[in-house]
Amino acid sequence: MSRSRARHHLSSPLGVVTVVLLLLLVATAVVAPWLFGDRATQIAGGSLQAGPSAAHPFGTDALGRDVLARTLVATRLSLVLAVLVVGIGVACGLIIGTVPVVLGRRAGRAVVAGLNLMVAFPGLLLALFLAMIFGVGARGAVLSMAIAFAPSFARLTHTTASGVANADYVSAARLLRVPRWRILTRHVVPNISEPLVVNATSQVGAALLSISALSYIGFGVQPPQYDWGRMLADGLPAIYTNPAAALAPSIMIVVAGLAFVLAGELLTQVLGGSQHGHLRMPSLRFPRREPAPAETPPPGDEVLQLERLTVTVPGETAPFAPVVDVSMRLRRGEIVGLVGESGSGKSLTAMAAAQLTSYPNVADADVHRIKGNELRRMRPRDRERLLGTSLAMVFQDPMSSLNPTLKVGRQLAEVAETHERLGRRDAWRRAVDRLSAVLITDPEARAKQYPMAFSGGMRQRASIAMGLMAQPALIVADEPTTALDVTVQKEVLGLLRRISRETDAAVLLISHDIAVVAENASRVLVMYAGRVVEELPVSGLAEAAHPYTRALIASIPDMSTDRSRPLANIPGRPPHASDLPPGCAFAPRCARADDRCRQERPELSDSGGAGAVACWHPLLPVLESEA
Amino acid sequence: MLELRDIVIRYGHGQSAVTAVDGVSLTVAAGSIVGLVGESGSGKSTLARAAVGLAPLASGTILWKGAALDPRGRPPLQYVFQDPYASLNPRMSVGASIAEGLPRTSGRRDRPARVTELLEMVRLDPGDVHKRPRQLSGGQRQRVAIARALAAEPEVLIADEITSALDVSVQGAVLNLLKEIQTRTGVGILFISHNLAVVRYMADSIAVMKSGRLVEHGTTEDVIERSTHPYTKQLLEAVPTMTMGSGRS
**Tens digits of per-residue pLDDT, B127-180?**
889 999 988 888 899 999 999 999 999 999 999 999 888 888 888 989 999 999
Phi-psi category of residue A586: left, alpha or beta, with phi > 0 → left and psi -120 to 50 → alpha: alpha
Best of B52, B137, B140, B168 to mutate (most A CBs within 10 Å, chain A): B168
CB contact under 8 A, B54 and A175: yes
A498 in contact with B at a CB cutoff of 8 Å?
no
**Burial group, residue A474, by CB count within 10 angstroms (0-12, 13-18, 19+):** buried
**pLDDT single digits (tens) B35-89:** 999 888 788 999 999 999 888 899 999 999 888 887 777 788 999 999 898 999 9
CB contact under 8 A, B201 and A171: no
The pLDDT, as a whole number, for residue A195 is 86
CA A380 to chain centre: 29
CB contact under 8 A, A558 and B241: yes
The helix (H) or strand (E) run that includes residue B51 is helix B44-51
Nearest to B81 among A168, A191, A456 (CB): A168
Looking at the DSSP bridge assignments, the partners of residue A311 are A323, A363
Spatial separation of the C-alpha atoms in residues B4 and A12, rounded to whole Å: 61
The helix (H) or strand (E) run that includes residue B162 is none
Least confident of A292-296, A565-569, A590-594, B41-45: A292-296
Spatial separation of the C-alpha atoms in residues B14 and B178, rounded to whole Å: 42
Residues of chain A contacting residue B167, judged by C-beta atoms under 8 Å apart: 341-342, 512, 574
**Residue ranges of A 548-577 with Cβ closer than 8 A to chain B:** 551-553, 555-559, 561, 563, 566-571, 573-574
What's the average model confidence in pLDDT over A128-149? 86
A506 in contact with B at a CB cutoff of 8 Å?
no
Q: Which amino acid is at B159?
A: A
- For the cut 50, the answer to whether the pLDDT of residue B247 exceeds it is no
Looking at the DSSP bridge assignments, the partners of residue A612 are A535, A606
Number of neighbours of residue B32 by Cβ within 10 angstroms: 18
For residues A451, A454, A458 and A462, what is the CA-based torsion angle, rounded to 10 degrees? Answer: -20
Spatial separation of the C-alpha atoms in residues A369 and A4, rounded to whole Å: 42
The pLDDT, as a whole number, for residue A198 is 87
What's the ipTM?
0.90
Spatial separation of the C-alpha atoms in residues B87 and B145, rounded to whole Å: 7
**Burial group, residue A309, by CB count within 10 angstroms (0-12, 13-18, 19+):** buried
CB contact under 8 A, A487 and B235: yes
A544: DSSP letter: -
Contact call for residues A41 and A226 (beta carbons, < 8 A):
no
CB contact under 8 A, A555 and B79: no
Number of neighbours of residue A381 by Cβ within 10 angstroms: 8
A190 in contact with B at a CB cutoff of 8 Å?
yes
Per the document, the length of chain B is 249
Q: Which residues contact A98 (CB under 8 A, 6 or more apart)?
A: A157, A158, A161, A184, A188, A189
Best of B82, B244, B246 to mutate (most A CBs within 10 Å, chain A): B244
Contact call for residues A377 and A351 (beta carbons, < 8 A):
no
The pair phi, psi for residue A113, each rounded to 5°, is -65, -45
Residues of chain B contacting residue A486, judged by C-beta atoms under 8 Å apart: 39, 194-196, 235, 238-240
Nearest to B240 among A172, A516, A567 (CB): A516
- For the cut 90, the answer to whether the pLDDT of residue A75 exceeds it is yes
What's the average model confidence in pLDDT over A19-47? 87
CA distance B28 to chain A (A): 19
Residues of chain B contacting residue A175, judged by C-beta atoms under 8 Å apart: 52-54, 75, 77-79
3-class DSSP assignment, residue A121: coil
- For the cut 60, the answer to whether the pLDDT of residue A296 exceeds it is no
A486 in contact with B at a CB cutoff of 8 Å?
yes
What's the average model confidence in pLDDT over A447-475? 88
Minimum CA–CA partner of B204 in chain A: A563
Spatial separation of the C-alpha atoms in residues B142 and B81, rounded to whole Å: 9
H-state helical runs in A42-165? 67-102, 105-120, 123-134, 138-165
